[in-house]
Chains A and B, each alone.
Chain A
Amino acid sequence: MTGVEQPKLTKKDFKSDQDVRWCPGCGDYAILNSVQGAFAELGKTLHGTVIISGIGCSSRFPYYMETYGFHTIHGRAPAIASGVKISNPELDVWVVTGDGDAMSIGGNHFIHAMRRNVGLKILMFNNRIYGLTKGQFSPTSPQGKVTKSSPMGSVDYPFSPIALALGAGGTFVARGVDILGPHLQDMIKRADAHTGTAMIEIYQNCNIFNDGAYKGFTDKEVRGERMLELQHGKPLLFGANKDKGITFDQNFQPQIVTGADLGKAFVWDECSPSPAPAMALATMDEAHFPVPIGVFRRQEKPAFERGVLAQIEKAKAQKPADLKGLLYAGEIWDVQ
């Protein structure tokens, strides 16, 4: 990076001069605010940061950030971002995507980014609906969802994006909520500290086409009872008075424990060598169990781009570039 010493930037410095054009009341505003805040606190530079998005409401994000930004094509942001990060590993590369962009049309790129462990930070805004195309069900909409394209209710079973990321070998998999700013900022900072691919699923309310999708557990009144904050090294406790816990039976089925059994609550280890506990929480039935937020899984693994770069450096050291030698190679002969 072209090194010019600059004073630490403020949240305001990360705001571009473009008018934000999401619908008033959209959850995206809160997320933008959290990202700008976290970036400032992390001491990021404008010129060293690149935000790459696909297509959808969330993918307008780069226009509102005073950093490098590339608003690309539907579903392909992780592929383009991979090219950017591999080409210049010094860049700080963020992908902003949505449940349609990353889970549907771009599902393949999403899972392969996870598998390769490219040093990308993926913010996946999940509003469980197609917003930009005006309200069709998405791959994360619950079954039975009535929309314009599913007047009798959708027949599709939904994805758990967290489970998908875990299954694809994701090394940092977390969940935050648009309206829980401080927690989301914390997730962003922790993703930033991770070396490989970091994915944060962000529950985001679409107040036009799917208003209140998360109300049942994110509203202030029910939050304590209905949400479970994952904290590394601490038991899985929830409830307004932290009087309920989650444990697993021998089949890794989650169970709620209370009272004298509270001590049996599972102690959360986000670095667990097995993805099983994280998978069990990611697939927990929302209707009967609290909804987990926080870091599901964190594993240290060398990032893809470092491996690629190391091979290039090794090859260069072994055989310095020599264009003439390259062309005049193999069996050559002279004609007089």
Chain B
Amino acid sequence: MQGTDSPTGLQQSTPDGRPIQELDQVVIRFAGDSGDGMQLTGDQFTRTTALMGNDIATFPDFPAEIRAPAGTLPGVSAFQLRFSSFDIHTPGDAPDVLVAMNPAALKVHYKALKPNGILLLNTASFGEVELKKAKWAADPRRDGSLDGYRVIEVDLTERTKEALASTTLDNRGKDRCKNMYALGILYWLFHRDMQPTEKALAQKFAKKPEIVEANLLAMKAGHAYAETTEIFQTAYQVPPAKLPPGTYRNIMGNQSLTLGLVAASQKAGVPLFLGSYPITPASDILHQLSGYKNLGVTTFQAEDEIAAICAAIGASYSGLLGITSTSGPGVALKGEAMGLAIMAELPLVVLNVQRAGPSTGMPTKTQQADLLQAMYGRNGESPMVVIACSTPADAFEVGYEAIRIAAEHMVPVMVLSDGYIANGSEPWRLPDVDALPPITVKFAPAITDGSKFEPYKRDEKTLARPWAKPGTVGLVHRIGGLEKQDVTGNISYDPDNHQHMIDTRAEKVARVADGLPPMQTLGERTGDVLVLGWGSPRGAITAAVMRLQKQGHKISAAFLRYLNPLPKDLGELMKGFKKVVLPELNKGQLAMMLRAKFLVDVQSYSQVNGQPFTSQAIEDYMSKLLKEIR
């Protein structure tokens, strides 16, 4: 924990006289069995902390199995959060506090804890069998494994049972409240308000008052335990962050992406249609949109990935905004249909919440390895607009932008998110709804004078073809996946026409760049090193580059939302630096694209272990590189 002097200069203390130390940031990791409620616990801490005005970033890290065997290493589920009194960009590298609910959680996570970090350990299950299940050769509490940490041993299971003695819950039910006991302890330790959690639980379990009561009892008992026993010598406080003025809401990536799509649909005045097939980590988009029927959203849970995109294409053909949500394996199945949308020149948004591949890979772990698939994963010359979101809050703008581009340019758009963005959360400064950019949709008007409708007659500026809704008088026409003559849309095998159409489809995508703003940089527009980023590494890159800039290095960063087409000034920007480095969670896919396109020696910094970059790793890499350059 990085402590600072109290800005007020006042000596603060807890009611019983223990000092309250002021910190500018804390990283906490909750770890337990999949069934221990770690995600819920982390979520509650996050909400409370966001409401108390701190900046916050979260990183849930859970297994694909819904309930892996209890007490085993694969069953460990974790939730990391970082909160601060300043603007932060990542959920932190190493935790200051680790809550370990069993020996398996301890085994998986204890090495990550910072030296002298606080380890709150549930001692309920340290029998021989449990230790063996967690692959501990000996009891780690006794053999020195935990030396160097501030270990706080509490039998959370037993303490919770005692606290809930008066309730009607059975033992199993009582045991399930132990996460709230741990939360209560942390609420005391970090001076958090318990009210938001009281409110949230009352809402979440509105139909089960006995569960609400038990959870709150457990939380308050934990809080009282920390207060009355002397397990902690000090309590801590993190003052609110100085975020830009506005109204905030804590948001997860999938949620904000969804809101961006809905907002765009409302602005455009065209309803959304989602065709989707459940897949981790994208399913929440389907869940969320299913709840927005009052905003005219249609959701169609299709029989498979292909049907999902095909139904979305059918919807777009009918005059709705067709979208489909999936992850990499689903994108693989949708390839042919994306080609059809490119050929039919219909608006379509494909959301790829990337996960670790190949094949089934590691569904709950993050990766950015679907970029080349997004760019080139279809037969024939089939360019598609590709844009990426970089943080949970940024996903709102990207969702909005995807609809704008698809509808105004009559093109399919691929949005790349990833598991880290999808499930992570951060405070989001809510936009002024009236100030959202306009989205202009023009449906082709009816023709009643007998003249022939030309389905591929293009807009001069964007090259978009008219969007003709079936049901409109005078616009009957046929389209399809066969090559067609420009303007008329009739089938054509003419060589010159085919060349022209391929060039036109590419040019249409390229012209999306015409309306893009110039690239922003973090730092100067010239210097020694430019760190380029796209997608979720943004936070870690920002934190690392800012630290290096403070040390006086001539290092800048820039982030790409638009991957196809690329911003027009990217080539020029890269020329201003001695070295361009691109950290990405793949084997160097964007680096390869940029090298090919600009003939610039972009250096790839690759990581593909299913985990996000830590800012420390990026800082170390860049430091070394800066030394080499000097």
Contact = CB atoms under 8 A, between A and B. Distances in A.
Interface string B488-504: 00110000000000000
Contacts of B347: none
Contact of A326 (B50, B246, B259): B259
B479 A70 contact: yes
Given A72-B340, A83-B313, A323-B263, A109 B480 contact: no
Interface string A189-215: 000000000000000000000000000
B420 interface: no
8 contacts: A4-B446, A50-B470, A62-B478, A63-B491, A68-B471, A73-B340, A86-B300, A316-B294
Contact of B311 (A67, A80, A318, A330): A80
A252 B586 CA distance: 61
A70 B318 CA distance: 11
A334 B317 contact: no
B51 A333 contact: yes
Q: Which of A18, A73, A83: most chain B Cβ within 10 A?
A: A83
Contacts of A66: 476
B473 interface: yes
Interface in A278-336: 308, 311-312, 314-316, 318-321, 323-324, 326-336
A170 B312 CA distance: 23
Contact of B318 (A69, A83, A329, A332): A83
Nearest to B472: A2
Interface of A: 1-2, 4, 16, 18, 46-48, 50, 52, 55, 62-63, 66-74, 76, 79-88, 90-91, 108-109, 112, 308, 311-312, 314-316, 318-321, 323-324, 326-336
Given A18-B490, A76-B306, A80-B313, 18 more contacts: A48-B471, A69-B479, A72-B481, A73-B337, A73-B340, A83-B313, A85-B314, A86-B298, A86-B314, A87-B319, A90-B471, A308-B300, A314-B293, A315-B294, A323-B433, A326-B262, A333-B249, A336-B245
A321 B265 CA distance: 12
Nearest to B446: A2
A73 B311 contact: no
A48 B469 CA distance: 10
B476 A333 contact: no
B314 A108 contact: no
A69 B476 CA distance: 8
B433 A73 contact: no
Contacts of A72: 310, 313, 340, 480-481
A74 B448 CA distance: 35
A71 B482 contact: yes
A333 B53 contact: yes
B315 A333 contact: no
Contact of B249 (A69, A79, A88, A329): A329
Given A4-B448, A331-B50, A83 B471 contact: no
Given A63-B478, A327-B433, A332-B247, A312 B293 contact: yes
Q: Which of B315, B336, B478: most chain A Cβ within 10 A?
A: B478
Given A323-B263, A326-B262, A328-B430, A333 B471 contact: no
A63 B389 CA distance: 41
Interface SS majority for chain B: mixed
B477 to A, nearest CB: 7
Nearest to B482: A71
Interface in B535-584: none
B73 to A, nearest CB: 35
A91 B470 contact: yes
Nearest to B346: A70
Given A48-B471, A73-B337, A336-B245, A87 B315 contact: yes
Interface in B215-252: 243-250
Q: Which of B310, B319, B322: most chain A Cβ within 10 A?
A: B310
Interface in B441-465: 446, 448
Contacts of B275: 83
A18 B293 CA distance: 41
A76 B307 contact: yes
A4 B473 contact: yes
Contacts of A68: 470-471, 475-478
Q: Which of A72, A86, A88, A109: most chain B Cβ within 10 A?
A: A72
Contacts of B303: 79, 108-109, 112
A331 B319 contact: no
Nearest to B432: A324
B173 interface: no
B314 A80 contact: yes
B314 A87 contact: yes
Interface of B: 47, 50-51, 53, 196, 243-250, 259, 262-263, 266, 273, 275, 292-298, 300, 302-304, 306-307, 310-315, 317-320, 322, 336-337, 339-340, 344, 430-431, 433, 446, 448, 469-482, 490-491
Contacts of A88: 318-319, 469-471
A87 B298 contact: yes
Contact of A80 (B310, B433, B470): B310
A328 B249 contact: yes
Nearest to A305: B298
Given A319-B294, A332-B430, A83 B249 contact: no
Contacts of A73: 310, 336-337, 339-340, 481
Contacts of A329: 249
A71 B481 contact: yes
Nearest to A45: B473
B246 A331 contact: no
B306 A79 contact: yes
A287 B604 CA distance: 68
A84 B344 CA distance: 15
A84 B50 CA distance: 43
B248 A334 contact: yes
Contacts of A67: 476
Which 7 pairs show the lowest CB-CB distances between chains A and B? A83-B314, A71-B480, A83-B311, A315-B293, A79-B310, A69-B478, A79-B307
A333 B247 contact: yes
Q: Which of B243, B306, B431: most chain A Cβ within 10 A?
A: B306
Given A323-B263, A334-B246, A336-B245, A47 B474 contact: yes
A3 to B, nearest CB: 9
Contacts of B477: 68-69
B345 to A, nearest CB: 12
Contacts of B263: 323, 326-327
A163 B202 CA distance: 52
A99 to B, nearest CB: 19
A159 to B, nearest CB: 18
Given A71-B479, A321-B294, A86 B310 contact: no
A76 B337 contact: yes
A179 B255 CA distance: 56
B273 A83 contact: yes
Contacts of A323: 262-263, 266, 295, 433
A328 to B, nearest CB: 6
A91 B318 contact: yes
Nearest to A335: B243
Given A308-B298, A334-B247, A87 B273 contact: yes
A272 to B, nearest CB: 28
B314 A326 contact: no
A82 B430 CA distance: 36
Nearest to B429: A335
A316 B293 contact: yes
B471 A47 contact: yes
A67 B294 CA distance: 33
A318 B294 contact: yes
Contacts of B293: 311-312, 314-316
A288 B302 CA distance: 40
Given A80-B310, A88-B471, A47 B315 contact: no
Contacts of B300: 82-83, 86, 308
A321 B481 contact: no
A79 to B, nearest CB: 4
A321 B307 CA distance: 29
